[in-house]
Amino acid sequence: MARNVSTGRKLITTVVAWTIGILIFFPILWTFLTSFKTEAQAIASPPVFLFFDWTTENYSEVQSRSDYLKHFMNSVVVSFGSTLLGLLIAIPSAWAMAFSPTKRTKDVLMWMLSTKMMPPVGVLVPMYLIFRNWGLLDTRTGLVIVLTLINLPIIIWMLYTYFKEIPGEILEAARMDGASLTKEIIYVLTPMAIPGIASTLLLNIILAWNEAFWTLNLSAAKAAPLTAFIASYSSPEGLFYAKLSAASSTMAIAPILILGWFSQKQLVRGLTFGAVK
């Protein structure tokens, strides 16, 4: 039976929710507005909010200075490529840990999770030397590999959690019908875990898209994604706030915001997969 909620409580909840939403969204709005200001207006004190001379000069200058489409395509290839490669590795791994566990399975899971606690700068030098010796510096392939490695523990953990919610009897029935291990994973397990796999894919695309440390240190010009594109507007001469906002607000943030907006239902469904019985 549904619980009756008073009108006053609904109003308070609505106001609190809107307040939190505005506070979270405000930095993005401020960055967007700053991208239409001149450099003088961007650093004005007190700050100018809406009443300023709007200009698109920053966008045209950013595009003329840097090849946005090249950096955008690098981000797309690196983020989607690393996520898909991670899924190819993680799905069989998560299946093995969920349905054929050993006494060391939990130890392996904890070890993988512990690798996320290590500061990336601690392995920067050896990674840089390996990439240099293998000719992977400033290549999309190199960035795909490193982003796959750093996000793989999260992918495996998420898929392991989703797979544990699937009844093992269904897979046993598939084996009794003569399904091989490969067919069991592809035709039985994967379709049942589509919400979990989709949310894992979306979350890791976002993580790879926003990764800055490795992309800045392992790429220069050819494979530089949008994170390097944004960082290029910090120079010895100072920070160009208006141009930096133009580069980051619409040109770098907008694509992933649009992706998240249209896939939010799938993302929420996947993140809550198996939570309600």
The pLDDT tens digits for 129-167 are 999 999 999 999 999 999 999 999 989 988 898 888 888
Percentage with pLDDT > 70 across the chain: 90
Q: Tally the residues of the chain.
A: 277
> How far apart, in whole angstroms, are the C-alpha atoms of residue 3 and residue 29?
37
What is the residue whose two structure tokens read 């505005």? 22
pLDDT digits (tens, 9 = 90+) for 253-275: 777 777 777 777 666 665 565 54
Cα angle 159, 165, 171 (rounded to 5 degrees) comes to: 90
Is residue 198 within 8 Å of 158, Cβ to Cβ? no
pLDDT at 277: 42
pLDDT digits (tens, 9 = 90+) for 23-52: 988 888 888 888 888 888 888 878 887 788
Token pair for 270: 């996947």
Is residue 273 within 8 Å of 196, Cβ to Cβ? yes
* CA torsion through residues 135, 217, 254, 241, sign: negative
Closest CA to 153 of 198, 118, 195: 118
* The model scores a pTM over 0.95: no
Contacts of 112 (CB under 8 A, 6+ apart): 152, 153, 156, 157
Q: Quickly state the pLDDT bin for 74 (edges 50, 70, 90).
A: very high
> How far apart, in whole angstroms, are the C-alpha atoms of residue 194 and residue 189?
9
